[in-house]
Structure 1
Amino acid sequence: MKSTNLYKGSLTTIILKLLNENDKMYGYEITQKVKEITKGELNITEGALYPSLHKLEAEGLLDVEFAKVNNRTRKYYKLTELGTQETVNKLAELEDYIRTMRALVNPKFRLQ
C-alpha cells in the first residue's frame, strides 16, 4: 500500500492547478478529477480537501459561486487573480522540489 504522506504538502498546488485548468470546480469534482488523473493512486479525502479550500478562500486565492444543480446548491471554487499568480509560484516551487529530489535519488540527474 502506498503512503499518501508525500502528497500532503502538495495539496494546495494540486487544487490550484486543477482550478487553473478547469475554471471552476466543486469539492467532490476535485476529488474525482485527482482520482481520475492519478488512476486511483491518490484519493483526497473531504477531511483534507475542504480545510484547504477554506484556507485558500480566506487567503483571497479563491472565489466562491453557488449554483442550483438538480435541486441542490453546489459551491463552486474558482481562482482569483491573486490565485492565478500563486498557482504559477506554487508550480515553479514544486518543479524545483522535484528536480532536487530527482538529483538526490538518481545520480544521472545530478549536476556536474
Structure 2
Amino acid sequence: MSNSKLYKGSLTTIILRLLSEHPKMYGYEITQKVKELTDGELKITEGALYPALHKLEADGLLDVEVRRVDNRLRKYYKLTEKGTKETASKLNELERYIETMQVLLNPKWTT
C-alpha cells in the first residue's frame, strides 16, 4: 500500500484482532503475520508497532510475558479481559467506518 497513513489509524485494531486469534504473539511475529495476511501490502514498522503495543499495555488492554528464547529475552503480548472487550468494540467501529467509506466511494444516487 503506497500510503501508510491510511492504515496507521487502524494499527490498534489490527494488533487487537491478531491477538484475538492467537493466544500470544511477539512484536516481530505480529509484523510478519500482517505482511503474510496482506500479501505484503501492509508492512508495519517497528517504529509504529512498539509504541502502539506499549500504549495498549499502559491502557490495560495487553499483558506482557517475558521469556528467554535462544539466550534473548522476548516479550509476548496477549489480550487482557478488557482488551478482548475493546477488540470487539474496535472491530465494530472499523466495520461502520468501512461501510461509510463504501457509501462515499460508491454512492447510489437517486433523482
Give the TM-score band, short-chain normalised: over 0.9
Identity across the alignment (%): 73
- Matched residue count: 109
Task: In structure 1, list runs of 5 or more residues that go unmatched.
Answer: none
**What SS is found at the alignment partner of 1:107?**
coil
Q: CA deviation at 1:82?
A: 0.0
Q: Distance in 2 between matches of 1:50 and 1:42?
A: 16
1:81 and 2:81 are equivalent in the alignment: yes
**What SS is found at the alignment partner of 1:77?**
strand
1:61 maps to which residue? 61
Opposite residue 55 of structure 1, the aligned amino acid is: K
Structure 1 length as normaliser, TM-score? 0.94
- The CA deviation string for residues 42-63 of structure 1, in whole angstroms up to 9 with x for no partner, is 1000000000000000000000
Structure 2 length as normaliser, TM-score? 0.94
1:104 and 2:104 are equivalent in the alignment: yes
**What SS is found at the alignment partner of 2:67?**
strand
Q: CA deviation at 1:79?
A: 0.2
The two structures, once aligned, show a CA RMSD in angstroms of: 1.2
1:14 and 2:10 are equivalent in the alignment: no
Q: CA deviation at 1:17?
A: 0.3
Task: In structure 2, list runs of 5 or more residues that go unmatched.
Answer: none
2:24 maps to which residue? 24
